[in-house]
Amino acid sequence: MPAPLSTPLNTDLAADLSTAVTTACPASHPRRLLLRAGLAAAAALGLAPAAMAQALTGPVKLVVGFPPGSGPDVVARTLGQRLGDELKLTLAIDNRAGAGGQIAAQAVAKGAADGATLLLGEVGSISIAPAAFGKLPYQPLKEFAAISEVVRSDFVLVVPVTSPQRSVADFVKAAKAEKDKVNFGTFGAGTPGHFGAEVFGSLAGFGVESIHYRSTGDAVTAIIAGDVKGAFVSTALAMAQVKGGKMRALATTAPERSALLPEVPTFTEAGYPKADFAAWFALLVPAATPAAVQDQLQRATVAALRDPEVAKKLGDAGFSVTPSSRADAQAMLQREAARWAAVVKSTGFKGD
């Protein structure tokens, strides 16, 4: 016979429930008999009725702050399908694009804390935005609980294929020779590419003029057309464009060369080891979500990410799979918030 689990039954709650039903129902009433059977089963398993009631039982929605077909959307759909299977629940993707992911983050932060609505949080709206925008309508570290980190993607400095620059040294030399600031394309104010360009310019000693585009597609089109001198693009997005001959990659922000772009040197190799930043995605829920539900989601998320087919699909799309514990994911949010706050402060950027 298996040994009993160490977690005790919540006797106070059990007594309250028992009293309520006993008062309302006679001794032989089916509800009274069912209650006794349920409490006995819970006691045998070491489960409190409250914990049992907190498990997810209905449809789940995963909110993404970017449009269908974007990198975040690929991550959400690849994870979401397997996550739904692990939870044995229907899971739908809800794309709420706009404001660099802030619209989606606000919607989930202010929504019901029942675990049925999840956010695929990312570095821009969660770690950078609080420092960059004084009127942010949500507070990530207070209003969200981290379930697990999901994936990471390093960045690549890309230039138009028509550019004569073929190395970081070439780019820096040309940038310093410019009379005006060097224009960089970005996917929006407050995004990692925006501040990555500012950091690079500061390290290399040239001025940066950021050109913010409304969408990823608009920014990519501008880079390919030569409307900007360069841009920091995630490896996941840059990979296809570079291999397709539409952009030229000069260096990656990864600590080691990317397996996806092995011919591209790192910024460390180019002499700029401090130009090391990455995009990350994590599964988040409103902070008041019951701990039992958070644990259920964390176990299912890690299991989904460790599925070989999921890991391969995400890897082929340019992402490194990074499942974690709740505690490690929450600590990562704290570290990233402090790091990007220092970066934003160093640039003097002040958003609306």
Task: Dig out the tokens for 61 from the structure.
Answer: 């929605």
Task: Dig out the tokens for 227 from the structure.
Answer: 């409307």
For residue 259, what pLDDT is reported?
A: 87
Residue 100 region by backbone torsions, left for phi larger than 0, else alpha for psi between -120 and 50, else beta: left
State whether the Cα torsion 298-101-107-78 is positive or negative.
negative
pLDDT per position in the chain (352 positions), as tens?
A: 444 333 333 433 344 334 344 444 444 454 444 434 543 444 444 444 444 445 898 899 999 999 898 889 999 999 999 999 999 999 999 999 988 899 999 999 999 999 999 999 999 999 999 999 988 999 999 999 999 999 999 999 999 999 999 999 999 999 999 999 999 999 888 889 999 999 999 999 999 999 999 877 888 899 999 999 999 998 888 988 999 999 999 999 999 998 889 999 999 999 999 998 899 999 999 999 999 999 999 999 999 999 999 999 999 998 999 999 999 999 999 999 999 999 999 888 888 6
Amino acid at position 29, single letter: H
For residue 346, what pLDDT is reported?
A: 86
pTM of this structure? 0.80
For residue 9, what pLDDT is reported?
A: 35
Amino acid at position 306, single letter: R
Length of the chain measured in residues: 352
- 20, 40, 112, 235, 253 from 208: Cα distances, Å: 68, 68, 42, 22, 18
Secondary structure element (H or E) that encloses residue 16, with its range: helix 11-24
Rounded CA separation 320/335 (Å):
19
Taking alpha carbons only, the member of 321, 327, 278 closest to residue 303 is 321
Rounded CA separation 132/194 (Å):
11
Task: List the end-to-end C-alpha distance of the chain, in Å, as a whole number.
Answer: 64
The SS3 of residue 308 is helix
For residue 54, what pLDDT is reported?
A: 55
